[in-house]
Amino acid sequence: MIPVILSGGSGTRLWPLSRELYPKQFLSIGASGPSMLQSTLERVSGIEDAGAPVIVCNGEHRFLVAEQLRAKAISPAAMVLEPCGRNTAPAVAIAALLQPGDAQLLVMPADHVLHDLAAFHYALSVARPAAAQGKLVTFGIVPDSPQTGYGYIRAATAEAGSEVYPVAEFVEKPDAKTAAQYLATGQYFWNSGMFLFQASTYLQQLARHAPDILKACQQALQHARRDLDFIRLDAEAFQRCRSESIDYAVMEKTDQAVVVPLQAGWNDIGSWESMWQVQSRDENGNVLHGDVISQDVRDSYIHAQNRLIAAVGIENLVIIETGDAVLVMDKARTQEVKQVVTTLRKDNRHEAQAHRRVSRPWGSYECIDRAERFQVKRISVKPGEKLSLQMHHHRAEHWIVVSGTARITRGEESFVLSENQSTYIPLGVVHRLENPGRIPLELIEVQSGTYLGEDDIVRFEDTYGRTGR
């Protein structure tokens, strides 16, 4: 059995903690602990014959995924980079094309939560014989309330003694009255987006019901290239692929779909209200993270990342503070945060895309201050790592070492700086920054020039195979 982890989402509904370049699957549930991606990988750790996972992710997130796997000492069978999002049907097709036909693929989104692993493993044990017989198994969450935010699966009658139910139909998200009716019948399950099937079964059904998707994926993989530990799909071929979910492309059309009930404390963390629901709350119903002072506060979610938040006399609110944004909203309206992100994108605001602290494979940088013609960054370089050999057309840079040791390449020169020493990189000069030491290198960078965007960079050599920023 091969876990296939789908990690291509953007997680706009958990803004401002989740951003385009740091989406929700990389966040922890609570103030610390494993990320949602890491928890998803750990879900199959107790299964004896589970193979190394296949990760399908956005190319922009490749080093974040690699770092999170490295932190858990997980070596993937493959890390597939999508040049653009095309939904779940193509993503799973690529994973299936990489595996032997009889391999069972356990497809799991990277950003879901399951609290009862024993129940999950039991559901897998029920599903695996059906998958071996050529069925496409989906896991249906046993509903405990009439939710309107989920799609539903209606189950037909199972054979006597079986816990595997033929799928009668998939239905869209209902209104409140219809959701209550679904709950009362006992025939409906929430659609979890998790699946189990043989690679060959999925490819056969995809060829039957969406042959254009299969053809585009075959071409994207045929012309893919290896990039370090990544498989980079051919951009032109993959962009031609139709964007479609597994449900629409295959599951709603096949006569081989079955559903296995799952009652394991599942949540897709689709909003800040969901994040509040899955965490431990205090005696007043609050979830509080960071430097928070609360007085007469009830049923609220408050997350302070950089500064003190003092809250008095409020209830049913979500307050999220980051280095560059503060979100305050009614907990009952948390789905509407997507509209905020839409506005940010429309106005070309950086807060939609990245945090002030941005991860890079060599370390990270954080914008401390910026104004017209200058920007100040704090740069941290991990031991033994180095930035690309690069040049800028529109800006010069001043570097001041705060701690650690820096090896500088500046034009034809190469020299070492230690604490409290500095250097100047003129506009247009080829340069590189390295950390030859055993502790992190911390420095302050002052940029000055007519344009300070991250795309003002020409790379001549890069350890990580990057050609963009």
Q: Where are the beta strands (DSSP E) in 10-142?
A: 54-58, 78-82, 104-109, 136-141
Strands 2-7 and 104-109: parallel
Give the C-alpha separation, 175 to 5, whole Å: 31
Q: Helix, strand or coil for residue 374?
A: strand
Query: pLDDT band at residue 469, thresholds of 50, 70 and 90?
Result: very low
CA 443 vs CA 83, 273, 375, 401: distances in Å: 33, 39, 14, 4
The DSSP secondary structure of 157-174, one letter per residue, reads PPPTT---EEEEEEEPPP
Pick from 348, 350, 403: which is nearest to 380 by CA?
A: 403
Q: How far apart are the first and last CA of the chain?
A: 37
Pick from 52, 43, 113: which is nearest to 79 by CA?
A: 52
Asked if residues 383 and 435 have their Cβ atoms less than 8 Å apart, the reply is yes
pLDDT, position 12 = 87
pLDDT, position 468 = 53
pLDDT, position 33 = 84
Average pLDDT over residues 207-217: 97
Give the C-alpha separation, 281 to 35, whole Å: 20
pLDDT, position 10 = 75
Phi, psi of 164 (to 5 degrees): -110, 120
Average pLDDT over residues 158-164: 89
pLDDT digits 0-9 by tens, 162-179? 999 999 999 999 999 999
Average pLDDT over residues 126-135: 97
Asked if residues 93 and 217 have their Cβ atoms less than 8 Å apart, the reply is yes
Query: pLDDT band at residue 358, thresholds of 50, 70 and 90?
Result: confident
Strand order in the sheet with 287-289: 287-289, 301-304, 317-321, 326-330
Q: Where are the beta strands (DSSP E) in 76-171?
A: 78-82, 104-109, 136-141, 152-155, 165-171
Give the C-alpha separation, 273 to 14, whole Å: 10
Domains and CATH numbers, the chain: 2-262 (3.90.550.10), 272-337 (no CATH), 357-461 (2.60.120.10)
Q: Is the pLDDT of residue 463 over 80?
A: yes
CA dihedral 155, 160, 163, 166 (to 10 degrees): -30
Beta bridge partners of 447: 375, 397
Q: Is the pLDDT of residue 64 over 70?
A: yes
CA dihedral 32, 33, 38, 44 (to 10 degrees): -150
Query: pLDDT band at residue 101, thresholds of 50, 70 and 90?
Result: confident
Give the C-alpha separation, 44 to 2, whole Å: 10
**Where do runs of H (alpha helix) occur along 257-325?**
272-277
pLDDT, position 44 = 86
pLDDT digits 0-9 by tens, 405-439? 999 999 999 999 999 999 999 999 999 999 999 99
Give the C-alpha separation, 225 to 77, whole Å: 16
33 compared with 1, residue with greater pLDDT? 1
pLDDT, position 467 = 66
pLDDT, position 227 = 79
Q: Is the pLDDT of residue 60 over 90?
A: no
**Where do runs of H (alpha helix) occur along 186-248?**
199-209, 211-222, 235-239, 246
Q: Is the dihedral of CA 81, 87, 88, 92 positive or negative?
A: negative
Give the C-alpha separation, 295 to 318, whole Å: 15
Percent of the chain scoring above 90 in pLDDT = 83
Q: Is the dihedral of CA 146, 152, 154, 160 positive or negative?
A: negative
Q: Helix, strand or coil for residue 139?
A: strand
127 compared with 48, residue with greater pLDDT? 127
pLDDT digits 0-9 by tens, 264-292? 999 999 899 999 999 999 999 999 999 99
What single-letter amino acid sits at 279? Q
pLDDT, position 32 = 75
